[in-house]
A and B are shown apart, each in its own frame.
Chain A
Amino acid sequence: MQEFLQYFFSGLTNGAIYGIIALGFSMLYRSTDLINFSHGEFVMIGALSMVTLTMTLKIPVIWAFFIVVFGVGLLGMVFERLAIRTVKRPEPIVLIIITVGASIFLRGAGMLVWGKNAQSMPPFTPHPPLDIAGARLLVQSIWILVIAILIAACLHLFYRRTLTGKAMYACAINKQAAWLVGIPSKMMILLAFGLSTGMGAVAGAIIAPVTMPAYDMGAMLGLKGFCAAMLGGLGSLWGSLLGGFLLGVLEAMGVGFVSSGLKDATAFLLLLLVLYFRPQGIISAASVKRF
């Protein structure tokens, strides 16, 4: 039981991370019909710049966090403006290849800026791990969980309550119709990129204390986040979060009870199963649309 709980906690923590990354994928897909395969790289930049800001520049964690999120969001907008909008024939396949290219570019840039070594920083709050029924829960894990759920809730409110959120959603449903009613769809796409990459930076910033971030962490995180998004049904916000948790917990159980070699295989096995049996994701399409 104690062992199970320990795996469950670590799974939950990883799951929250996958969930936030999946949210980034989902919200971008929801607003632009595009999958940004360089999303993981924005997570990496978020994590590494968080380390630089807090460790080298000694900026307080809370300020560093906001600077990182806004900075990376801005970077995402620049990426959209320079690499996505300038495409003459914006067919999905072309755009996806561009995002793959961007991921290689950003990884290289990350290596040049931060070097090949893994970095590290202390947790946000220096508190000893909690002891729950014999299993230990890091305080940073609680931070991660709370922030993940907070972000999903904020996004939910954004789409439900604000005019910009509704307009963005309308763009995703039918770009032409949205354009015709007077919604500047280019602005919305730019904004969606900013929000999505900013969310990636959130994921990066909150895992920086627990993962030893390095320039090449983005690829795997991006893929796991993509798996989680597919699991929950691409485009569904709560589905993405749920997919992230599911993936995280299953992965942890696989590592704990079967073999540690299974860690990454779990994600891809799950992805294959989902694509085969429920390509619309575990949350059915109808409820996804209603979200």
Chain B
Amino acid sequence: MKYRNDSGINDNRAEKRVLPFTDNRQPDNIYPMLRIRNLKCFYGQIMAVKGITLSVKEGEIIALIGANGSGKSTLMASVSGLLPTWTGEILFEGKNLKGMDPPAVVKSGISLVPEGRLIFPPMSVYDNLVLGAYTRLRKKAREDVQQAMETVTALFPILKERFSQPAGTLSGGEQQMLAIGRSLMARPRLLLLDEPSMGLAPLVVEKIMDVLELLRSQGLTILLVEQNARAALTIADRGYVFETGSVVLEGSADELLADTNVKRAYLGKDYEEFDDENR
């Protein structure tokens, strides 16, 4: 467990219980790594996220599910610093992210794998990965970056085979792996993923989800936005269901997977199947 002592938060369990935020649904008293309170995000006059409160504890995989336009990606944009127009509170390891631009957020330990991957297609796979470590290379942490490169290539051996190839020539799944690998190069403690399964074959999705589980077992905390609710909830510990900018449901992944409303709305089961199951 890492807490920042300069952040005004005392690493003292007894005091932590007194803090206003305690997650009552889960008995453990781990102080959340990422805490979002009453977040409202604005695009001009339009409020896309209408007061969301959620928390991510160290070592958890959290899934955010919901339909298009429900505010999941907007939330990701706010946390990663892309969208500066929000009110409320986003605390990461006790530090407020308000006013930070994306490079500052990356430096503080959060990396986003953006929707649509956003790799640099004309550049080689290797260069893509190296740029992922830009903030660390600036600090001359060469050995550290070398190590990160080895970790990433161990995770995705295919990327090493394609090192000198332009990233644009990779298949969709490989590009997603590259996008994840690029984010990992910054050595984040919290990884945000926005729709990592978009446009990928089910087998590839499974592979990606396996990797996320593996990363979690290595100590990474993951916040995952997914349309593919089943895949996300299968690996997640807890989930939040978004609808038009608000959280309408939250709970453990198993609870959500079993919830009738979630099944109907996001897991693609129709009424007949329910009948079958309930028989």
Chain A residues near B (Cβ < 8 Å): 163, 166-167, 169-170, 173-174, 176-184, 289-290
B20-28, B63-71, B111-119, B250-258: which lies at the interface: B111-119
B121 interface hit (Cβ, 8 Å): yes
Q: Chain B: how many interface residues by the 8 Å CB criterion? A: 29
Given the complex, which residues of A lie within 8 Å of B82, measured CB to CB? 176, 179-180
Assuming the A-B contacts A173-B123, A174-B120, are A182 and B80 also in contact, with contact meaning beta carbons closer than 8 angstroms in the complex?
A: no
Contact B137 A177, beta carbon cutoff 8 Å: no
Contact B134 A167, beta carbon cutoff 8 Å: yes
B157 interface hit (Cβ, 8 Å): no
Question: Which 3 residue pairs are nearest across A and B when measured between Cβ atoms?
Answer: A177-B118, A182-B106, A182-B135
Q: Which of A169, A173, A182 has the most CB of B within 10 A?
A: A182
How near does chain A come to B117, taking the closest CB pair, in angstroms? 9
Chain B residues near A (Cβ < 8 Å): 80, 82, 101-103, 106-107, 111-112, 114, 118-123, 127, 130-132, 134-135, 137-138, 166, 168, 182-183, 186
| Cβ-closest chain B residue relative to A179 | B102
Contact A167 B131, beta carbon cutoff 8 Å: yes
Q: Which of B80, B112, B131, B166 has the most CB of A within 10 A?
A: B131
Given the complex, which residues of A lie within 8 Å of B123, measured CB to CB? 166, 169-170, 173
Contact B114 A182, beta carbon cutoff 8 Å: no
Given the complex, which residues of A lie within 8 Å of B111, measured CB to CB? 181
How near does chain A come to B234, taking the closest CB pair, in angstroms? 27
Contact B80 A180, beta carbon cutoff 8 Å: yes
| Cβ-closest chain B residue relative to A186 | B101
Given the complex, which residues of B lie within 8 Å of A289, measured CB to CB? 121-122, 166, 168
How near does chain A come to B275, taking the closest CB pair, in angstroms? 46
| New A-B pairs, 17, CB < 8 Å, besides A179-B103, A180-B80 | A163-B131, A166-B127, A173-B121, A173-B122, A176-B82, A176-B114, A178-B120, A179-B82, A180-B112, A180-B114, A181-B106, A182-B102, A182-B132, A183-B103, A184-B103, A289-B166, A290-B122
Given the complex, which residues of B lie within 8 Å of A184, measured CB to CB? 101, 103
